Structure 1
Amino acid sequence: MSYEGKSLPFSEIPLVDFGRFLNGNDKDKVEIAEQIGSACRNVGFFYIKNHGISSDLISRVYEQARRFFSLPIEEKMLIYIGLTSLNRGYTPIYEEKLSLKGDLKEGFDCANELEENDVDRVERGAQLHGPNVWPKNLQGFKECVYDEYYLSVLKLAHRLLKSFALALNLPENYFESITQKPMGTLRLLYYPPQPPIIDPDQLGCGSHTDYECFTLLSQSNEKGLQVQNVLGEWIEAPPIDGTFVVNIGDMMARWTNGVFISTVHRVINTSGRERYSIPFFFGPDYFTKIECLKTCINEKNPPKYAPITAGDYLVSRFNDTYKYRQVEDTL
């Protein structure tokens, strides 16, 4: 099996039946892992179906997202993301700057629910560890978004990571010991309709690659996600009922020495209607050392990246992206 990344000029996003990995025999697991590995090496994106998360739960999370983003701005700003150093809470429109002028989207972030005095935060300086912040007047919001959905998609992420391990010629449980307290961030996103004349410097979500190991994305019924191939063409990744979109992030690209590719993508809400999406960004434990896996190194593909801890890497990327983390030059 070859492990050298190629990044082909794809014209569509592959679809994988993940149910065969979850419920099949060893042969099924290997075959699905090979399909996933091929998508990760050549495209960086794929869909999964039969993933085990019910459509009813997903529908209820979207309803909670609509409830939250319908709140008055004054109420949403009570949990503004800049009020904490943990990168959790409400992100107003233009706050995230993946587009030059700021993105045309609002967001709500939550992550692994930990105590304020979490030992890794207090004794080791894990900057992103701690409690979430929740809207005060939305009964059932936290219970649906975190207690049900977050924990369900986190379980799916752990299972998907097993398929990545097999695709990389590693033991199935290779990543288990370093994902005991993972950095998993769930986002509820709201995109207002994009103006008819599109400003390339102000998109719903500007051209970017994701930061963590991989993303599990639920899309509502409105298209908008576009993925760039090596020819510079933007390929639509429309919603497919009953699926998640999975894409490789920069952390996994570093970990695999570029064998798995982190592909540029963007969101333009051309539907003329409101668009919602729910990405889950999965990363390992905060102090995990991200250094090239031995199965991804050979004479033709020597190490490309210096080792770095996962938490330090993620903090550096947040600092580059969020307005509240950037100090204006007053000189």
Structure 2
Amino acid sequence: MFTHIPLIDFGPFLNGTDEDRQKVSSEIGDACRNVGFFYLLNHGVSSSLIERVYEQAERFFSQSIEEKMKLYIGSCPYGNNRGYTPMLEQKLSLKGDLKEGFDFAMELPADDKDRIERGASLYGPNLWPDNLEGFRECIYDECYLSMVSLGHRVLEAFALSLNLPPNYFKSMCQKPMVTMRLLYYPPQPIIIDEDQLGCGAHTDYECFTLLSQSNQSGLQVRNNKGEWINAKPIPNTFVVNIGDLMQRWTNDQFKSTIHRVINTSGTSRYSIPVFFGPDYFAEVKCLMTDQIAKYEPVIVGEYLTQRFYDTYHYRQKDSTSSM
């Protein structure tokens, strides 16, 4: 019955003793079990870099719809769920979400061996604008790669909190399914239509999410009394939340908590989520050998592909047309 989201200082985990690391891991484990969300402070990613990514997001979304649609996710030749998502494209709200996005993930060649020989359809190249100088260098070479590194350290903390070796997840995250999104939310009317929110009530699909919020509030987290708790922006922090795969992996120890976004700030809102998942062919099955598994094992790439079909308009059209 949480009423607030805990704030955890990650600095001692990154730079402290084994005792410090264990203490922080225990705090993170408590947050994952009781809330499913926490703020991460002193995470090692510079605030100046995040500010530059927001500047690049504003550059991208301020372009004409015609220019942005050149990178439309539904026209991506690789079919790996990357590119621009226009307003209402993602349907976490019944009528479609009031947001625009730009998705990219690990940059891999079109002839990547796992993609070509083993059918790892979500691997491959990204789509990049050719008219925004410095865009890719900032958001991918600098920010994305830094966020992937941070994600590996968060996984170490998760492992310790579960009484596992800190490198337990490492072998399953050699080519991790990590997607970073730039998101733009226009102002939304104060009168809320539950069927059309900035981002409808949902849980995230992957293991966990690292989220940077701009100064505007909008993220709300639902506790198990059904109350919506505001996750207000805290400077120089990331919001971390557990996703469905980690809930499955931990047999419901870690909670994948329902959340939504409603931008009633009266101004534009931007955010930068990074969704961290394991390798495409990693198998997620119950970690608790002394418990009856609540979920069947799943292959990560197959699971995520199905979840994308459930919520992306362009994939639903493709599915309908092929039936």
Q: Give the TM-score normalised by structure 2.
A: 0.97
Equivalent positions of 1:85-234 (< 5 A) are: 85-234=79-228
Equivalent positions of 1:283-298 (< 5 A) are: 283-293=277-287, 296-298=288-290
Pairwise CA distance, 1:196: 2.7
Are 2:19 and 1:27 equivalent residues in the alignment?
yes
1:65 maps to 57
CA distance in 1, matches of 2:192, 2:228: 15
Are 2:238 and 1:244 equivalent residues in the alignment?
yes
CA distance in 1, matches of 2:136, 2:189: 33
Letter in 1 for 2:208: F
CA distance in 2, matches of 1:253, 1:313: 14
Secondary structure in 1 aligned to 2:70? Answer: helix
1:37 maps to 29
Are 2:293 and 1:303 equivalent residues in the alignment?
yes
CA distance in 1, matches of 2:178, 2:263: 26
Q: 1:119-167: per-residue Cα shift (whole Å, max 9, x none)?
A: 0000000010000001110000000000000000110000110000000
2:48 maps to 56
Question: Is the CA contact (8 Å cut-off) linking 1:257 and 1:297 kept in structure 2?
Answer: no
CA distance in 1, matches of 2:190, 2:36: 30
1:14 maps to 6
Q: 1:186-220: per-residue Cα shift (whole Å, max 9, x none)?
A: 00000000023221100000000000000000000
Are 2:245 and 1:255 equivalent residues in the alignment?
no
RMSD: 1.1
CA distance in 2, matches of 1:309, 1:196: 41
Q: 1:99-122: per-residue Cα shift (whole Å, max 9, x none)?
A: 000000000000000000000000
1:77 maps to 69
Question: Is the CA contact (8 Å cut-off) linking 1:99 and 1:203 kept in structure 2?
Answer: yes
Secondary structure in 2 aligned to 1:120? Answer: helix
Letter in 2 for 1:321: T
Are 2:267 and 1:273 equivalent residues in the alignment?
yes
Q: Name stretches of at least 5 consecutive residues in structure 1 with no aligned partner.
A: 1-8
Pairwise CA distance, 1:297: 4.5
Secondary structure in 2 aligned to 1:251? Answer: helix
1:317 maps to 307
Pairwise CA distance, 1:236: 0.4
CA distance in 1, matches of 2:88, 2:214: 21
CA distance in 1, matches of 2:320, 2:173: 38
CA distance in 1, matches of 2:157, 2:14: 10
1:3 maps to none
Structure 1 residues 275 and 318, CA gap change in structure 2 (3 angstroms):
same
Identity of aligned residues (%): 67
CA distance in 1, matches of 2:158, 2:75: 36
CA distance in 2, matches of 1:217, 1:29: 22
CA distance in 2, matches of 1:261, 1:196: 30
Letter in 2 for 1:315: T
Q: 1:39-75: per-residue Cα shift (whole Å, max 9, x none)?
A: 0001000001000000110000000000000000000
